[in-house]
Amino acid sequence: MYMTSAQLRRAFLDYFASKDHQVVASSSLIPGNDPTLLFTNAGMVQFKDVFLGQDKRSYNRAVSSQRCVRAGGKHNDLENVGYTARHHTFFEMLGNFSFGDYFKRDAIHYAWQFLTEVLQLPKEKLLITVYATDDEAYDIWTKEIGIPADRAIRIGDNKGAPFASDNFWAMGDTGPCGPCTEIFYDHGDHIWGGPPGSPDEDGDRYIEIWNNVFMQFNRHADGRMEPLPKPSVDTGMGLERISAILQHVHSNYEIDIFQGLIKAAAAITGTTDLDNKSLRVIADHIRSCSFLVADGVMPSNEGRGYVLRRIIRRAVRHGNQLGAKGVFFSKLVAELGVQMGEAYPELIEKQAIIEKVLRMEEEQFGKTLERGLLLLTDVLGQLGDSTLIPGEIAFKLYDTYGFPIDLTSDVARERGFSVDQAGFEAAMEAQRKRAQQASNFGADYNQALTSANITEFTGYTEEHGNATVVEILRD
């Protein structure tokens, strides 16, 4: 069976609607009223208070296709993009939810029926994991569904800390959490990687497609696990990962949506090799950046805005790597509208403003990128046998040329180097102390210091950022 991403999204919503689930629209990437979370990173975020028993809905079963960003905070995949077949900064999570209604048995049966009957995936290519002590889930899989024992894997707290298991899911450091069962797809032995729980599990042969979480606890800041009023279900399946399977390809980057974006990026940057890693990074980043702007995030020097800025700059650096001359990134918003505008009309409605925000960032960073890269290349040439870039250099690139630390790390990694992260943090801290001391001399001196920074260095200050926003809004 072959399905487009759009057909899959529809099939998922329809299947769970037929099982009495209320179809709920995706919420914003900016979580409502949740200062503990940088971005919406899962389908359950908009239902957090319902799980906690602090909010009630008119339905107790829901289904959604939720836009998610994992580029900061607890779930951060920014540095995986370009290196794995399965990670994006922005992706869509298909999810079904039970608020104190059905629990483990129905959740597992629904998931299995959807995959093997609706999508007709071959059963022998599917593996499952359960939390080590969850005998109930294990028995449902092996006795009711009939998964052979060699494809049902128990995963415990094998990562050093309690509840650090892949099969114990938490939205963040606090909030709803619980044991989970996950479904993996075997893409075949021509791809490197081992089954979940094995030493090679980070490879991309066995790709995790669906996580079914049995929400049972509310974790407090002091680590206390308080049982939830009603055991619930929260599931998440990456639309791009399941699309890859239904489109008979291995990597998410080979699916319809991404091929469209990659071709457009290739044409704009004059790249002929469609498998070039930088094209994948750019195709990924245009999605997260456009959706973040559409949801009201503006580039800035802190918080959400700084994450957006980091992603834009990373994309611009990859364009530079491909030899793109001038503005290219913002030109991809139009193609994104072609690929995803039907499901997300705001991409079309807000196209002009998204393009403008991205273009201004590209133009600004373009001014210092080349010089920073030259400095970095110089430094690498002088490191001798060491492969560690000193923290002060990473800090200088950040402070003088506007290089976010992950961008420097990304360039370093490509060239076989790494960055002394602790040294970078120390240099940052030293700078903070100097600024603090300077401010003790009085406001005027501090003022002078700040404006010197603006003209001499980057022009990326908050003041400038705000001026940009005001100008855009006036248009």
What residue ranges bind ligand ATP (CB under 6 A)? 70, 75, 77, 86-88, 91, 93, 166, 208-211, 236-238, 240-241
CB of 241 to ligand ATP, least distance (A): 5
Question: Can you tell me the distance from the alpha carbon of 274 to that of 262, in angstroms, rounded to the nearest whole number?
Answer: 7
Q: Given the DSSP bridges, would you call strands 388-389 and 418-419 parallel, antiparallel or unpaired?
A: parallel
Q: Closest CB to Mg ion among 166 and 335?
A: 166
CB 52 within 8 A of CB 218: yes
Neighbours of 252 (CB within 10 A): 25
Q: Which residue is nearest to ligand ATP (CB)?
A: 238
CB 164 within 8 A of CB 74: no
- Closest approach, Cβ 69 to ligand ATP, in A, equals 9
Residue 77 vs 134, nearer CB to ligand ATP = 77
The structure tokens listed for 359 are 């273009």
Using the rule CB under 5 A, is 330 a contact of Mg ion? no
Task: Select from 29-37, 166-174, 237-245, 257-265 the region that touches Mg ion (CB under 5 A).
Answer: 166-174
**DSSP label at residue 79:** G
Residue 111 and residue 213: Cα distance in Å, rounded? 12
Residue among 211, 232, 243, 252 that touches Mg ion (CB under 5 A):
211
Q: 3-class SS at 374?
A: helix
Under 8 Å between Cβ of 196 and 154? no
Q: Which stretch binds Mg ion (CB under 5 A): 159-167, 264-272, 338-346, 402-410?
A: 159-167
Q: Which listed option, Mg ion, ligand ATP, none, makes contact with residue 91 (CB within 5 to 8 Å by class)?
A: ligand ATP
Listed ranges 53-61, 163-171, 275-283, 306-314: which one lies at the site for Mg ion (CB under 5 A)? 163-171
- Of ligand ATP, Mg ion, none, which one does residue 244 interact with (CB within 5 to 8 Å by kind)? none
- Taking residue 267's Cβ as centre, other Cβ atoms within 10 Å add up to 12
Distance of closest approach, residue 260 Cβ to ligand ATP, in angstroms: 17
Closer residue to ligand ATP (CB): 166 or 420: 166
CB-closest chain residue to Mg ion: 211
238 interacts with, out of ligand ATP, Mg ion, none, CB within 5 to 8 A per kind: ligand ATP
Give the other-Cβ count within 10 Å of 283's Cβ: 27
Structural contact between residues 26 and 68, judged by C-beta atoms closer than 8 angstroms: no
Which one of ligand ATP, Mg ion, none interacts with residue 350, CB within 5 to 8 A by kind?
none
Of the candidates 52, 82, 65, which has an alpha carbon nearest to the alpha carbon of residue 215? 52
